[in-house]
Amino acid sequence: MKNNILEIKNLSFAYLQQEVLQDINLEVAKDDFLAIIGPNGGGKSTLLKLILGLEKVKTGTIKISKNLGYVPQNTNININFPIKVIDVVLMGHKNETKVKGIKKYFKIGYTKDEKDCALASLKEVGMEKFADSKIGSLSGGQRQRVMVARALSAHPKILLLDEPTSSIDVEGQKQIYDLLKKLNKEITIIVVSHDISVILGYASKVAYINKKLVIHNGIEKDIIDRDNGHFCEVEMIQMLDQLKQKDCSC
Amino acid sequence: MLEVLSYDFMQNALIAGILVSIASGIIGSLIVVNRMVFLAGGIAHTSYGGIGMAIYFGFPIFFGASLFAVLSAILMAYITLNQRDKIDTFVGLIWAVGMAIGIIFVDLTPGYNVDLMSYLFGSILAVSSDDITYISSLLGLIIFIMIFWYKQILAVSYDSVYASLRGINVKFFYTLILVLSALTVVIAIKVVGLILVIALLTIPVYIAEKLSSSLASMMIISGILSSIFTVIGLFVSYQFDITSGASIIMISALSLLIFLSILKIKKQLL
Ligand SMILES: Nc1ncnc2c1ncn2[C@@H]1O[C@H](COP(=O)(O)OP(=O)(O)OP(=O)(O)O)[C@@H](O)[C@H]1O
Ligand SMILES: [Mg+2]
C-alpha cells in the first residue's frame, strides 16, 4: 500500500446541481498503467481535472504526488495562435528555477538543456521534423502528438492523458501507446480512452466511470452494473471477451 | 512637403505617433491573441467616464482617463477570471456605465469643450513634450515587461490552463495584460481618439498575424506596420487638412485590404 502514488477517497463532485462523480474510491500504484473508460459525459475528464487540481475538490480527498504531466482532451484550442511547435513543447517545462527570491521571476528565455529536452520529447513522438512549424499548420493528430511531447518535457512522475489518440492514425496510436508502455517502467500512466483494443494490450488496470467508478484488476463477472446502460454492455462485453477470450453471461 | 518637419508640433506628433504605434503593436498583438478585443473596447469606452470627471473637476484628462481605464481593466480581469459565463453582460454594463458617467459630467460642465472633442477624435497635433515623456515611459515599461516575462505571458495567452498547471500565476499575468492594455488604450486615444482606438490597436495586428510564426515577431511586425501607417496618415492629414485619427485609420484599413487581396490572388495563382 506504500507504493500508492494516487489515492482518492469518497470523492463526489458536481459542477452545478447535478452530481457528475459519486463516491469515487481509487488507488493507483507507482507502476500502474490505468485505463479509464466510460460513456460520453460519464465524468472521465472531470476526474482528471480534479486530480490535476484544475477543479476544486469539495467532497472527499485526493492524495497525489506533485509533478504531473497532462495531455488535455481538446487540443484544438487556439490553433491560429502564432506559435511554433517547439515553443509549445517548451511550455511544458516547469516554471521554476534554482534561483530563489525575486530573481526567479526574471529568468529570461529557455536554457539550452531545456531546448534539447524539448527536441528529445518531440523525437519521442515522431514530430522532430515539425519543430519549427506553426502549430496551426499541423493536422489534428500531429497536434495531439505535440501535446504528448509537451507533457513529457516536464519529466512527470505521473502522466495523465485524456483521449490522447482520438485523432491519431492506427500506426501513430501504436507508436504512442508503445511509448507510454516504455515510459511506464519509470512513471505512472493514467489514460482515458474509448479504444478498448488498444487499452487491453497495455493497461494493467481498468476503471469504468459513469458517475460511479468500478475498477477491474482482473476479471470478475459481477463488475457489470446493468444500470449503467448500453455503453456498459457493449463496451464491457467486448473488453471481457478480449481479456478472457470467453463468453460473457450478460 | 518636408518643410512641415520644421514645426515643433509636427515633430512632436511624429515622435508621439511612432512611440504610440510601437506600444499599440505590442499590446494590440496581446489583445488579439487573447481575444480581448471586446474587453479592450469596453476599457476604451469606460475611460470616457474619467474624461468627463476630469473635465468637470478640472484635473488632467490623461490622468482621469487612465484611472478609469485601469479600474475597468482590473474589474474586467476579475470578472473574466471568476464569472466567465457572464462576461458579455458585465463588460457591456461597465462599458455603458462608464460612458454614462462621462456624458453626465460633460453635461454638468458649462460651455463647449475643445478638450473633449480632441479626446473623441484624437489630438496628436497637440501633443506636448510632457505627453511624450509619459508615452515613452509607458513604452519602456511595456518593453521591459515583455522581455522579462515573455515566457509567462506567452504561456498564459496560448493555454492558460496548462500555464496554471506549470505554476504560472495566470490571474496575475492576465490582469497585467489587461492593465497594460488599458494604459495603452489611453495613449492611443491621444493619437486617433476614443472612437477609432480599437482600429489602431487591431488592424496592423491582422496583417502581422499572417506574417508571423511567433508572438514576438507578431508584436514587432505590428509595431513597424503601425508606425508606417501613422507617419503616412499624419502627412496625408496635413496635406489635405483632415483629422489625423481618421486618415491614419483609413491608411491602415486600405493597407489591410490591399494585403488581403494580394494574399488571395497569390493563393489563386498557386
Ligand atoms: N465546465 C463544466 N461546467 C458544467 N458542467 C460540466 C463542465 N464540464 C463537464 N460538465 C458536465 O459534467 C459531466 C461529465 O463531463 P466530462 O467531461 O467529465 O465527461 P467525459 O466522461 O470526459 O465525457 P467524454 O467521453 O465526452 O469526454 C457532463 O454531463 C458534462 O455536461
Ligand atoms: Mg472527456
Nearest to A82 among B149, B159, B213 (CB): B213
Residue B209: band (very low, low, confident or very high) from pLDDT cuts 50, 70, 90 = very high
**Is the Cβ of A91 closer than 8 Å to some Cβ of chain B?**
yes
pLDDT in tens, A207-218: 888 888 877 664
- DSSP 8-class letter at A234: I
Q: Which three cell numbers stand for residue A125?
A: 513522438
**Is the distance from the beta carbon of residue A46 to the nearest atom of ligand 1 less than 6 Å?**
yes
pLDDT in tens, A61-91: 999 887 889 999 887 788 889 999 999 999 9
- Residue B162 is which amino acid? Y
Q: Is the pLDDT of residue B153 over 70?
A: yes
Which ligand 1 atom is nearest residue A55's CA?
1
pLDDT in tens, B9-32: 889 999 999 999 999 999 999 999
Interface of A with B in 136-155 (CB under 8 A): 150, 154
pLDDT at position A96, please?
57
Of B119 and B218, which is predicted with more confidence? B218
What's the mean pLDDT in A13-37? 90
**Is the distance from the beta carbon of residue A40 to the nearest atom of ligand 1 less than 6 Å?**
yes
pLDDT at position B224, please?
97
What is the phi/psi pair of residue A19, to 5°?
A: -70, 130
Most confident region among A89-98, A132-141, A231-240 by mean pLDDT: A132-141
Stretch among A220-224, A235-239, B120-124 having the lowest mean pLDDT: A220-224
pLDDT in tens, B179-189: 999 999 999 99
Contact between chains at B166 and A95 (C-beta distance less than 8 A): yes
What's the mean pLDDT in B226-236? 95
Pick from B72, B32, B31, B25: which is nearest to B48 by CA?
B72
pLDDT at position A158, please?
93
**Is the Cβ of A88 closer than 8 Å to some Cβ of chain B?**
yes
Return the percentage of chain B with pLDDT > 70, whole number. Answer: 98
Q: Is the pLDDT of residue A162 over 60?
A: yes
pLDDT at position A247, please?
36
Pick from A34, A71, A80: which is nearest to A52 by CA?
A71
Contact between chains at A92 and B166 (C-beta distance less than 8 A): yes
**Is the Cβ of B33 closer than 8 Å to some Cβ of chain A?**
yes
pLDDT at position A114, please?
84
The interface pTM score, or ipTM, of the predicted complex is: 0.85
Q: Which three cell numbers stand for residue B254?
A: 486600405
Contact between chains at A82 and B215 (C-beta distance less than 8 A): yes
CB A69 within 8 A of CB A164: no
Residue numbers in B near A70 (CB within 8 A): 162, 165
Residue A225: band (very low, low, confident or very high) from pLDDT cuts 50, 70, 90 = very low
Domains of chain A, earliest start first: 1-67+159-250 (3.40.50.300), 75-155 (no CATH)
Residue A239: band (very low, low, confident or very high) from pLDDT cuts 50, 70, 90 = low
Look over chain A and give the mean of its residue pLDDT values, rounded to a whole number.
80
Domain span including residue B159: 2-269
CATH of the domain at B97: 1.10.3470.10
Residue A121: band (very low, low, confident or very high) from pLDDT cuts 50, 70, 90 = very high
Residue numbers in A near B155 (CB within 8 A): 91, 95
Cell 468627463 sits on residue: B52
Cell 501535446 sits on residue: A147
Q: Return d(Cα A38, Cα A236) in angstroms, integer.
A: 9
Of A98 and B80, which is predicted with more confidence? B80
Contact between chains at A80 and B209 (C-beta distance less than 8 A): yes
Could you give the number of structural domains in chain B? 1
Residue numbers in B near A78 (CB within 8 A): 33, 158-159
**Is the Cβ of B128 closer than 8 Å to some Cβ of chain A?**
no
**Is the Cβ of B82 closer than 8 Å to some Cβ of chain A?**
no
**Is the Cβ of B162 closer than 8 Å to some Cβ of chain A?**
yes
CB B192 within 8 A of CB B248: yes
What's the mean pLDDT in A185-190? 91
CA distance B212 to chain A (A): 6
Q: Is the pLDDT of residue A190 over 60?
A: yes
